[in-house]
């Protein structure tokens, strides 16, 4: 169990770091675009790169939000039950999320495999841009699995 938790924690740290880097790159690229547009010639690639970084940051960031339980939760009903029922409800929520992530992962992989076109301003295949879907959803699935096991075993350690 500790190994699964450690892997989940490491993935969370890596993805959190990558999201910060991507957002920082978006700020730098957008600033450079503004400067170039005002005083020089506009960059032809900056808007596309910024858009792609935003897409990746969104899906990688979603894994961090899920792992840290930062998603919206309706706990009013849950708190009306005894602790053992609350635990069961939390396990059920993680199981439902796991199944949702699995279904989205399946269709995300199918979608990526259908992408044959190249980006408009960059020589990048769009399937590489959309790889954030299966990567992000796969990691969300892993986090859901680990968090479900933490609830079942009672060995949940928050980071």
Q: Which of 65, 67, 84 is nearest to 4 (CA)?
A: 67
Within-domain flag for 159:
no
Q: What per-residue confidence (pLDDT) applies to 157? A: 52
Q: Which residues contact 95 (CB under 8 A, 6 or more apart)?
A: 144, 148
Within-domain flag for 29:
yes
Within-domain flag for 142:
yes
Q: Number of structural domains, the chain?
A: 1
Question: What residues are paired with 118 via a beta bridge?
Answer: 125
Q: What per-residue confidence (pLDDT) applies to 159? A: 42
Within-domain flag for 66:
yes
Q: What per-residue confidence (pLDDT) applies to 158? A: 47
Rounded mean pLDDT for each run of 10 residues along the chain, 159 residues in total: 89 95 96 91 89 95 90 77 88 93 94 85 88 94 94 70
Q: What per-residue confidence (pLDDT) applies to 18? A: 96
Within-domain flag for 110:
yes
Within-domain flag for 80:
yes
Residue ranges making up the domain that contains 40? 2-153
Q: Which residues contact 25 (CB under 8 A, 6 or more apart)?
A: 53
DSSP class of residue 41 equals: P
Within-domain flag for 158:
no
How far CA 123 is from CA of 109, 116, 119, in Å, comes to 21, 12, 6
């Amino acid at each position: 169990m500790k190994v699964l938790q450690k892997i989940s924690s490491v993935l969370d740290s890596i993805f959190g770091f990558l999201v910060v880097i991507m957002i920082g790159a978006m700020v730098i690229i957008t600033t450079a675009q503004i400067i170039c547009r005002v005083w020089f010639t506009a960059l032809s690639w900056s808007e596309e790169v910024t858009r792609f970084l935003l897409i990746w940051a969104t899906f990688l960031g979603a894994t961090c939000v899920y792992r840290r339980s930062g998603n919206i939760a309706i706990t009013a009903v849950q708190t009306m039950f005894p602790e053992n029922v609350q635990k069961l409800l939390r396990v059920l929520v993680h199981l439902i999320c796991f199944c949702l992530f699995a279904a989205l992962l399946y269709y995300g992989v199918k979608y990526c495999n259908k992408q044959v076109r190249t980006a408009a301003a960059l020589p990048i295949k769009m399937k590489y841009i959309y790889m954030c879907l299966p990567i992000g959803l796969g990691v969300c699935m892993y986090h859901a699995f680990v968090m479900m096991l933490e609830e079942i075993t009672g060995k949940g350690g928050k980071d």
